Amino acid sequence: MSVVSCNEFQGSNGNRTEFCIGGPGGGSNPRTGAHLAAHLPGVTIRPYDPKRRDSMAIIVGKQKFLYDRDNQQHALIAKFRPVESTQPAIVISGQTSIANHAAVSFLKREYLSISRCPFTG
């Protein structure tokens, strides 16, 4: 196992499973943005903008998961295998650090069922 900064890691995850944690906005994790653009074209994460109602929204197809600091926070969890890799990449991108933590807890709890999910497409 190795831990590599998103700013240092270039190219494919090859024969290693990659966990990419954090949102693409504000320079937090540019690798997440690259994965969204290259491998998850139907997913958008809106940047923070206090003037917009959909600030920090996670959009999947036609569904919008809005950020509501007091009531609901969401996280994107995506498992996919880049064409050039033999192992999966897993993206965790929450609207807040608490949402990231909740997503990791979900993965820990549901690991066996998620690991059995086949790759399609």
Q: Is there a domain that residue 65 lies in?
A: yes
Q: Is there a domain that residue 9 lies in?
A: no
How many domains does the chain contain in total?
A: 1
Q: Is there a domain that residue 120 lies in?
A: no
Q: Is there a domain that residue 58 lies in?
A: yes
Q: Is there a domain that residue 66 lies in?
A: yes
Q: Is there a domain that residue 2 lies in?
A: no
Question: Which residue segment(s) compose the domain that 66 sits in?
Answer: 18-115
Per residue, the 3-state secondary structure of the chain, as one string, reads CCCCCCCCCCCCCCCCCEEEECCCHHHCCHHHHHHHHHHCCCEEECCCCCCCCCCCCEEECCEEECCECCCECCEEEEEECCCCCCCCEEEEEECCHHHHHHHHHHHHHCHHHHHCCCCCC
pLDDT value at position 121?
47
> pLDDT tens, 39-80?
999 999 999 999 999 999 999 999 999 999 888 899 999 999
Q: Is there a domain that residue 13 lies in?
A: no
Q: Is there a domain that residue 85 lies in?
A: yes
